[in-house]
Amino acid sequence: MPAIEVKQLCKVFKTHRKEAGLMGSLKGLLHRETVYKDAVKSVSFSLETGELVGFLGPNGAGKTTLLKMLSGILYPTSGSISVLGYTPWERKRDYQRQFSIVMGQKNQLWWDLPPAESFLLNRDIYDINPKDFQRTVDEMVELLDLKALLDIPVRQLSLGERMKCELLAALLHQPKVLFLDEPTIGLDVISQEKVRGFIQEYNRLKKTTVLLTSHYMQDVEQLCERVLVINHGGIVYDGSLLSLSERYIDHKVLKIRFASPQSASPPRDLKGVVEWDIHHAEIKIDKKEIAAMTYRLLGDFPVEDLSVEEVEIEEVIRRIFEER
């Protein structure tokens, strides 16, 4: 049985449009224009126990809305969700003990208290056995390198330090399912790497099912073998990260370093040139023409180094969004 199963899920938001100014306000008293927005449209997927899946999409695509429905914060308009056999929006206590959600732009720690005191509060909320609680804290503190931060008020911590404490707080009750909504947003490169390393190690050790949303492709490339891509409320791709480029990109990138200076302009009949100067060149080549183009370039130019590379995953995702 899958840990998470979503079938034909839809969420429609109802809003009202108002014209600007005093006249707009007066008109709104007599007649309000109703606007319906399909935030999530007929979404279906499933996650097996222990999977760590990336959830990608542009702003407004429906990622956070879907996570909120999975965690029971929002009710769907139609469709069904099963998480560990529970219906999230029924908000049963047994379910709430088995999942956790971390949002990179929202805090659950008390701002003026040290993290250690917020952890104690969570211990009482989830009725965690004191011995189990201390063992979990000790384990997480070591993994996240937080020992020196536990007694410092949260407001005095850096953003990266706070995010690591947020992760610890979310995992105190050992959830079986973890929803991460942009956990590395706003962090510096070193903090991002530490958070990614922790998520990867925690998933490996605990076999926790993780659904991760992020705008940083490094998060997804390092952590996830499978990705879900959502756009305009619907799933447009569900599969391996490696297969994305094969499905959506029909070319590769050939990079050359010349052995001696060349003309500053490429030959007129050379197609797909992205960059060209006297020392380097970068050319987009159809996958079917790689052999012929490589043969030509090696014959026509003194080449010191040549490499054929896959298109970066950011460009693949960008093309998906643009096409849809």
Q: Which of 18, 65, 57, 70 has its CA nearest to residue 37?
A: 65
Average pLDDT over residues 84-88: 93
The answer to whether residue 134 scores a pLDDT higher than 70 is: yes
- pLDDT at position 77 is 93
Residue 206 has which token pair?
A: 């605990």
- pLDDT at position 87 is 94
The answer to whether residue 8 scores a pLDDT higher than 90 is: yes
- What average pLDDT is seen over the chain? 87
- pLDDT at position 324 is 55
Average pLDDT over residues 75-98: 92
Model pTM score: 0.78
- pLDDT at position 286 is 87
CA atoms of 69 and 62, how far apart (whole Å): 11
Average pLDDT over residues 267-273: 87
What letter would DSSP give residue 149? G
| Helices assigned H by DSSP within 36-104 | 63-70, 93-96
Yes or no: say if 230 and 45 are a contact pair by the CB < 8 Å rule: no
The answer to whether residue 61 scores a pLDDT higher than 60 is: yes
% of residues, the chain, pLDDT over 70 = 99
* Higher-scoring residue by pLDDT: 185, 84: 84
Yes or no: say if 227 and 241 are a contact pair by the CB < 8 Å rule: yes
- pLDDT at position 323 is 65
Highest mean pLDDT among 32-36, 229-233, 245-249, 255-259: 255-259
| Interval 271-318: pLDDT, tens | 888 889 999 999 888 888 888 888 888 888 998 999 888 777 777 777
* Higher-scoring residue by pLDDT: 14, 245: 14
Q: Going from the N-terminus, what domains does the chain have, and what CATH number goes with each? A: 4-245 (3.40.50.300), 249-323 (3.30.70)
Q: How far is CA 149 from CA 114, 162, 193, 241, in A?
A: 8, 9, 19, 36
Concatenate the DSSP letters of all residues of 185-207 into one string.
Answer: TT--HHHHHHHHHHHHHHHHHH-
| Interval 189-215: pLDDT, tens | 888 888 888 899 889 988 999 999 887
The answer to whether residue 216 scores a pLDDT higher than 90 is: no
The answer to whether residue 86 scores a pLDDT higher than 90 is: yes
